[in-house]
Amino acid sequence: MASTHDFVQHVVDQIDADCEMTFRKMFGEYGIYSRGTIVALICDDRLFVKPTEAGRDYIGTPTEAPAYPGAKHSFLIEDRIDDGPWLSELIRITRQHLPPPRPRRKKQTR
C-alpha cells in the first residue's frame, strides 16, 4: 500500500519550521528531507527515521524495522507522530549526525 499525501503532509506539519522540511515522492512512497538532507522515509503511512547513535540516545529504546523489504533497519516512530516538539528535536538530532548531502553532478550537454 502506498503512502497518502495527507499523512505525509500531517507528519511534516508537526515539525518546527526551523527544520526546513520538504518531501519527495519516491516509488510510491516518500523521502523526508530537513535542510536538504534525507532524514526519514514514509512507507505505508509509517514514519521511519534514519538511525543514529544520538537519535537512539534521545529516543531511549527505539522500535527498529525496515521501511521496505530488504532495507536497513530504521527507527519506526508510531506513537509520537503528533508530538511536534519531540519529533522536531529528533529530526534536528538526526540531521546533525548524518553526513551532508553530496553535491549533485551537473548533467553534461551534448
Express each pLDDT in 68-87 by its tens digit.
Answer: 999 999 999 999 999 999 99
Residue showing cell 540531521: 95
Q: How far apart are CA 81 and CA 107, in angstroms?
A: 38
What is the arithmetic mean of pLDDT over 17-27?
A: 93
pLDDT of residue 1: 66
pTM: 0.89
In this structure, which amino acid lies at residue 63? T
What percent of the chain is predicted at pLDDT more than 90?
A: 84
Task: Sketch out the chain's domains with CATH numbers.
Answer: 5-96 (3.30.1460)
